[in-house]
Structures are given as structure tokens and as C-alpha cells.
Amino acid sequence: MTIDKYKLILSFVSEYLEPFGFKRKGNTFYILKNNNLGLINFQKSSKCSKKATIFTINLGISSTLLRKLLNNDSLKLKPDIDDCHWKKRIGFLLPQKQDYWWEINSNTSIDSLLVELTTLFSTLVIPEIINNIADECLEQQWIQGESAGITELQRLIYLTTLLKVGKRNNVIQEIDNLRRFSKGKAFEWTAMEHIKELEKYV
């Protein structure tokens, strides 16, 4: 069955990623670096059937500081990919820069697929996570207007939090950007409450 092949792939991937520092929990592999968590998440499609298992791979970064200040969740728990502060689909690391899914069926060669996946991990996925995992890296991306996998509101909330805690000179400018962006929108109250909360971080 294709689901057995899928489970086998996850098992082999777990062995491959372990020397890099990743630990498996379900369909997700976690690495702790710079006090933040990097995630490699395997996601199955709703189009899976008995004859075919379809999956893609998500990358994520969870900032421990932002979790502590904004998420109100237990730091003892591993975050889900949806809760990450930075997210990217593997397809957008590939030349075509679009969503990409693999299909496992009766004709799939496990060995060939594993070679393909591990090559992507070593050349693209792991470097992408490691190069972006520190709060300083996330901060610089958000200052430049990049918002991998998050909304513009989330980008501004996360950015102003890091800038305020880090006592950065440009925090006032970004708070003003948040005010202007949210003015008159449904989430204006959320933005204003966040700005009030920032006053605690002196």
C-alpha cells in the first residue's frame, strides 16, 4: 500500500535528518538553534487515496521570544507548522517557484525518491532554515518587507515586537507603519491593542 511507502519514507528521512540535529514528532522534524525552532513538515494532500499518497513539504521557523510574548502557549510544547512565524513551501525553493507535490503509487521507487528528497534537504531545505532561524535574520527580512508565509499584519506585529524588545531606533517608524496599515480595517483594534502592549517592553 502507498501509505506504507509513505511511512517508510518518513522513517528513512528521520534517520537522515538526525545527524543534523533534527528530532521527529509525527510528520514534523524539529531542530533547536539560536533558541528558536526550525521545522520540516510533511503534509499529505486531501486528494490521497488507497492507490496514491500525495504529499508536500513545509519549512517553518518558530521564534521562542515571539511565542513567549505573543502566543501565550507553553514553550514546553512543540509548535505546529501553522503556528510558525516564518513559513515556506518547498516548491518555492525550486526553480519553478510554485507549489510542488510528490505522488507515491505502486510504481514509485522508494530509493529514487529518497535520493531526491535527501538531496533537496542538504542543498536547499536545511540551509534555508539555518540561514533564517535567528531572530536577527527574521527581523531583517521583516524590515525589508518580506513576509514568508504570514500576513502583512503579522509581519508588522512580529517586527515591532522584536524591535521594541531589542530597543531598536526604528521601532517608532514601524509602529507608525502598523497604525497606517490597520487604519479603518477590521483588524485595527487588534493592531492598537498590540501597540499598547508594546509599552510594557521598556
State how far Cα 188 lies from the chain centre: 26
Confidence category of residue 3, pLDDT binned at 50, 70, 90: low
- Residue 110 placed within a domain: yes
Reported as a single tens digit per residue, the pLDDT across 100-156 is 999 999 899 999 999 999 999 999 999 999 999 999 999 999 999 998 899 999 999
Average pLDDT of the residues in 9-33: 98
Same domain, 155 and 125: no
Q: Which residue range(s) make up the domain with 6?
A: 2-133
The answer to whether residue 202 scores a pLDDT higher than 80 is: no
Q: Give yes or no: residues 155 and 126 share one domain.
A: no
Q: Are the C-beta atoms of residues 34 and 134 closer than 8 Å to each other?
A: yes
Judge if 185 and 122 occupy the same domain. Answer: no
Cα-Cα end-to-end distance for the chain: 58
The 8-class DSSP code of residue 86 comes to E
Same structural domain, 104 and 185 = no
pLDDT digits (tens, 9 = 90+) for 59-83: 999 999 999 999 877 788 899 999 9
Answer yes or no: do 34 and 122 share one domain: yes
Helix or strand holding residue 161 (H, E): helix 152-165
Q: Does 144 fall in a domain?
A: no
Q: The whole model's pTM is what?
A: 0.93
- Note the pLDDT of residue 77: 87
Same domain, 33 and 78: yes
Tell me the per-residue pLDDT of 161-198, one tens digit each, with 9 for 90 and over.
999 999 999 999 999 999 999 999 999 999 999 999 99
Clarify whether residues 61 and 116 are in a common domain.
Answer: yes
- Give the type of residue at 195: I
Tell me: do 106 and 8 sit in the same domain: yes
Tell the residue number behind the cell numbers 525589508, with chain if given: 144
CA–CA gap between residue 132 and residue 142 (Å, rounded): 11
